[in-house]
Structure 1
Amino acid sequence: MAVKNTTQVLIGGKIITLSGYESEEYLQKVANYMNSKLTELSQIPGYSRQAQETRHTLLSLNIADDYFKAKRQAEMFEEDLEAKDREMYDLKHDLINGQVELERAKKEAEENARQVQTLRDKIAELEKELEELLN
């Protein structure tokens, strides 16, 4: 069973105690993300004049926007990975078919070479018989 971690973080100038099953480093990373979003929003003209509730709503909307953009990007990566997996499957299938065809062609070439040699031997034998008949 995972161990629950508790750590203090600084968000928006206030010390907050966070706890969860994630590592302390992860919890600090989340706090740093929140601080960067707060800094980003505070640079927007008029943001600091908004009511606290409005600022919280804007912060939540920005975080939700980041979440949905990241989720869409992850979905696109998944789709790309699936397409590459299908392409790799098709390429492997083509490779196997090519190997089977190559083996078939090699066997056919060997059989043709045997037939050519048999025919050459027959020609040599017939030429020898013809020479004997002519002598």
Structure 2
Amino acid sequence: MASKTDTEVIIGGKVFTLSGYESEEYLQKVASYINNKIADYNKMDGFKRQPLDTQNVLLQLNIADDYFKAKKQVEMLEGQLSDKEKELYDIKHELIATQIKLENTEKNVKNLQSDISEDSRKIIQMETELKTLKK
């Protein structure tokens, strides 16, 4: 199991110590995401006029919205991946069936070529016998 990481981050101008099994870079990235959300909302006059607890709830709702949209996109992509895997399986199955048909066709061609060679040999033999009988 990975070792636990403790790192200090700044969120909204305050220093927090985050702990987790993720890398320090990841924890900093999370803090940066939160800071960007706060900065985006602070650009809106209507947001700044709201009480602090309302601001926090709006930020939490926005982050939850981002999460659910990302989760929905992941589910959609997983569905597409599953469809592509099924399509790939079907194509591989079709390829194998086609290869088997090709092998059988090649075998039939060899057999027919052998039959033609045998028939040609018989024709030559019969023609030779016919010439011998005519003499």
CA RMSD of aligned residues (A): 0.9
Q: Which amino acid aligns with 2:121?
A: D
Q: CA deviation at 1:2?
A: 2.8
C-alpha distance after superposition, 1:89-123 (max 9, x if no partner): 01110110011000000000000011111111111
| Distance in 2, Cα, partners of 1:58 & 1:66 | 12
Q: Which amino acid aligns with 1:62?
A: N
C-alpha distance after superposition, 1:7-57 (max 9, x if no partner): 111111111111122111111111000000001111223100001111011
Aligned partner of 1:115 in structure 2 is 115
Q: How does 1:3-22 map to 2 (within 5 A)?
A: 3-22=3-22
Where does the alignment leave 5 or more consecutive residues of structure 2 unmatched? none
Q: Which amino acid aligns with 1:130?
A: L
2:88 is the counterpart of 1:82: no
Aligned partner of 1:92 in structure 2 is 92
Where does the alignment leave 5 or more consecutive residues of structure 1 unmatched? none
Give the SS at the match of 2:45. coil
Q: Which amino acid aligns with 1:27?
A: L
Aligned partner of 2:37 in structure 1 is 37
Number of matched residues?
135
TM-score (norm: length of structure 2): 0.96
TM-score (norm: length of structure 1): 0.96
| Distance in 1, Cα, partners of 2:2 & 2:107 | 61
Give the SS at the match of 1:46. helix
| Distance in 2, Cα, partners of 1:119 & 1:128 | 14
Q: Higher mean Cα deviation, 37-46 or 92-101?
A: 37-46
- 4+ residue segments displaced more than 4 Å: none
| Distance in 2, Cα, partners of 1:20 & 1:27 | 8
| Distance in 2, Cα, partners of 1:41 & 1:95 | 55
Q: How does 1:50-69 map to 2 (within 5 A)?
A: 50-69=50-69
Give the SS at the match of 1:6. strand
